[in-house]
Structure 1
């Protein structure tokens, strides 16, 4: 069935029918060709624009066309005055901006009169409160409370944000995973002191805590030794401690290991640091010369000489080498007047001790080893070292017992 056509006026002979619109079908024709042709039918009309035939404002209203009236703008100073009055950070500024904005908005026929007035009122109230606070001292008290809160927040840190030389307290036990520590002055009671740190390398993926522990234990042991050269000042219960990445923090890119001395017994009340930053050249040379003796002694085999003679003789040889080297190092340094004599006496006693350790290292059997063992140890008595330490201003007491040696 053909579409029903509405009645049309017949054109008069004097007025021929108007020609069809370009691109639109005439009655009886199909749709115009092309991908965007209008649907057929006599009621089809050209689609209006997105805002209709009158533009966005509609007839008789301001719009985007050339004949619309311009929109009224808002005065920027009035907005700034209101914002300044609300936040109360600079009350005089909000008051001044509001007083300038009122005549400016009126002259330019802008909006914002209400905002300017509100800004003036709020800023005036803020100014009054500021004056009262200064007069009563309330502002100073508030600032002190704010500063104390900021200081407390700054002291709370992640273990991985600690730096070398920081002393800290731990919220909880050291053996458990810790997320927060509080830095404190080293003269205040504290559980730990950071000796340094390093970045893990050589792992392409999460290696597991055991693998990280092995690396951290070795490197932190050496880090702590370099940080506290005056080993006599380190309490016996201040052990090597470290913070390592967790599996979760590893995924986020964390590779930091933080080394420290830490204790859960009697808290530390002074810094344990004794390195290039705290020692003079004489103290530094003395400790670097004699400390290898203690390091060598510490490497004594777990198996006794009856079980492993070779290992014990090799260890005795390492101690002999450390003692001989220390004696030579002490003699090769120019000591000050106060320390020259006790250091010279220490070098002489080390020479005598070296003889005992050489004999121990060359023992033919276990019995011969045991015959010299105690004599060799006695030859390295700490009594010999105490006077030299005293003359150099180093620690004279062993912190594990608290008794003078």
Structure 2
């Protein structure tokens, strides 16, 4: 018998699974299977819901809107909006509404800007803003004041406490000028206003005297003033006293400062030498010798010491130019005055004191060297104070 061949299996349709041999690749390994065809298992040609980039908003449209809102940039907002619209159409971007809003706001702002320029409203607004900023920068707490600053407090110098003051150019009218500061020490608790007032007055008097050596340059109605801590600020650690020259009657113009920072060496030496005579003279006791002889005699001794010290100070210094002769003449006058004040300081009783009193004042130069001051370039007109001594 001829060998017979096994009957052939009918061919299966193309792509059908095979009955013999290796099994067909599964769905997750087939190189042409549906799950390997596209991103995230989506066949080619189908939309990719998660892989497609989002639609962006045009940045110029956003800039147009912001510039249109900001009143000082309306032309920029208009330009950005006009550029943004064609870009949005070409790139299929979002932001058309933003661009249109920016254009509209920019046009309105431009019209308002032009109107403001024509009417002058913008200039007035800018000027008013500048004035407001300047005023705010000048407004300080009294305890922020610094030595040499002049200030105004809107007529509140007589108030118990001031909350703010305005810094003013010293060349312009002002209420006060700061002469210095000091810290209160030696108190474990709030000592009371009366106690602090006494300390502040004494210390500020010394500070003011050193700040304005040319006392004749200080207006008559200007006197010692100070800001001191309140009981409330004391609890917060405030211990600072601000000393000043201030006018209780009105404002004054020009700085009263005359110390080492503004004076020549000759001017400073002259004032430091002669000023103690004036200072002691103002401390004459209120009670006359018949009521308090001891106090008056002690004061006369202080005046004698001040006169003698001034005479020695003038003699040991070289005085240049136009000041030489008048300073020498002042020295001779002080020599004569010293003899009479020695007699007054040595009076045995009130009657003897009265006998020497007028002569002592008469021999003391009333102007304390006005010609010498002229030669030195100092204020040469003495101020007239209420309640001056009998020699004035």
TM-score of the superposed pair, with normalisation by structure 2 = 0.73
Give matches, 1:134-149, under 5 Å: 134=117, 137-149=120-132
Quick one: which of 57, 69, 74 aligns to 1:91? 74
Q: Residues 227 and 85 of structure 1: is their aligned pair in 2 closer, same or farther, counting only changes over 3 Å?
A: same
Q: Which of these two proteins has the greater Rg computed from alpha carbons?
A: 2
- Partners of 2:106 and 2:240 in 1: CA distance: 50
- Give the deviation of 1:353 after TM superposition: 1.5
Give the drift of 1:224. 1.4
In structure 1, the partner of 2:228 is 244
Paired residue for 1:123? 106
Once residues 233 and 60 of structure 2 are traced to their aligned partners in structure 1, the CA distance between those partners, rounded to angstroms, is: 49
The 5-angstrom pairing of residues 104-183 of structure 1 reads 111-131=94-114, 133-134=116-117, 137-176=120-159, 177-183=161-167
Gaps of 5+ in 1: 1-65
Tell me: CA distance 1:384–1:252, structure 2 relative to 1, closer, same or farther (3 Å): closer
Distance 1:77 1:305 in 2: 94
Q: Give 2:4's aligned residue.
A: none
Contact 1:305 1:369 in 2 (8 A): yes
The Cα of 1:372 is off from its aligned counterpart by 1.9
After superposition, the Cα gap between the structure-2 partners of 1:208 and 1:107, relative to the gap in structure 1 and judged at 3 Å, is: farther
Task: Write the deviation string for residues 222-272 of structure 1: whole angstroms up to 9, x where unpaired.
Answer: 121122211123233322111223233344444432222222335423332
Q: Match for residue 383 of structure 2?
A: 399
- Tell me if structure 2 keeps the 8 A contact 1:349–1:384: no
State the 1:144 CA deviation.
2.4
Residues 114, 162 of structure 1: alpha-carbon distance in 2 compared, 3 angstrom cutoff: same
| Offset at residue 96 of structure 1 (A) | 5.0
1:125-177 Cα deviation digits (max 9, x unpaired): 33454455456654434322332333344444433333333333333442213
After TM superposition, give the deviation of residue 291 of structure 1 in Å: 0.5
Output one character per residue of 1:11-42: Cα deviation in whole Å (capped at 9) or x when no partner: xxxxxxxxxxxxxxxxxxxxxxxxxxxxxxxx
Contact 1:187 1:269 in 2 (8 A): yes
- How far, CA to CA, are the matches of 2:372 and 2:318 in structure 1? 14
Q: Structure 1 residues 248 and 113, CA, compared in 2 at 3 Å: closer, same or farther?
A: farther
Instruction: Name the TM-score, length of structure 1 as normaliser.
Output: 0.71
Displacement, 1:287? 0.8
**3-state secondary structure, aligned to 1:164:** coil
Structure 2: state its 5+ residue gaps: 1-48, 387-391
Which residue in 2 is equivalent to 1:193? 177
CA contact (8 A) 1:241 1:260 kept: yes
1:169, 1:192 within 8 Å by CA — same for their partners in 2?
A: yes
1:301-380 equivalences in 2 (<5 Å): 301-380=285-364
- 1:290 Cα shift? 0.4
Q: How does 1:279-318 map to 2 (within 5 A)?
A: 279-318=263-302
CA distance in 1, matches of 2:89, 2:315: 94
Does the 8 A contact of 1:168 with 1:181 survive in 2?
yes
Q: Does structure 2 conserve the Cα–Cα contact (< 8 Å) formed by 1:235 and 1:400?
A: no
- Give SS of 2:267's match: helix
Deviation track 1:184-233 (CA, whole Å, cap 9, x = no partner) reads: 44444433232222343444544332232122112211121122211123
Q: Summarize the Cα distance change of 1:82–1:231 in structure 2 as closer, same or farther, 3 Å threshold.
A: same
Change (3 A) 1:90 1:219: farther
Is the contact made by 2:61 and 2:102 (CA closer than 8 Å) also made in structure 1? yes
- SS of 1:282's partner is helix
Change (3 A) 1:221 1:401: closer
SS in 1 for 2:369: helix
In 2, the alpha carbon distance for the partners of 1:269 and 1:327 equals 34
Structure 2: distance between partners of 1:364 and 1:143: 77
Is 1:211 equivalent to 2:191 in the alignment?
Answer: no
Deviations, residues 25-79 of structure 1 (Å, cap 9, x unaligned):
xxxxxxxxxxxxxxxxxxxxxxxxxxxxxxxxxxxxxxxxx96988766566544
